[in-house]
Amino acid sequence: MNGIITILCALLGSGAATALVNALLERRALARRTETGESQGMRWLLQDRLEQQALGYLAQGAISYEELRNWNRGHQIYHELLGGNGDLTGLKAELTKLLYTKEEHDG
């Protein structure tokens, strides 16, 4: 009988612990999804900056490897860390194509 009580207590305890851990993880995920005015503003500013840079590179018809690497880092921050929605993905492809087009003409 003591063995059954021990097993039942262990099952109830592990279930309670699991529920507690799940609740804490869900709370943390919700906090991460909640945006502040600062994060929205940072995302908007970075998006605008990246758009202006990309349009400048496209207008001049050239981008260096270092410039593209720096632009891609900004895009990664915009997209992954600030939750950007993919508006800049087309510009990223155009800049990458611009780099390789320039290298073909130079090489």
**30 and 49 both lie in a single domain:** no
Structure tokens at 65: 């490897």
Give the pLDDT confidence score for residue 103 in this predicted structure.
56
Cα 48 to the center of its chain, rounded Å: 17
Distance CA 96, CA 63 (A): 9
86: left (phi over 0), alpha (psi -120 to 50) or beta: left
Same domain flag for 29 and 40: no
Mean pLDDT across the stretch 55-69? 95
Query: Given a cut of 90, is residue 105 above it in pLDDT?
Result: no
Q: Which residue has the higher pLDDT, 20 or 47?
A: 47
pLDDT band at 54 (very low <50, low <70, confident <90, very high): very high
63 and 22 together in one domain: no
Q: What phi and psi, each to the nearest 5 degrees, are found at residue 101?
A: -65, -45
User: Structural domain tally of the chain?
Assistant: 2
Distance CA 15, CA 5 (A): 15
What pTM was computed for the model? 0.63
Claim to verify: residue 75 and residue 55 sit in the same structural domain: yes
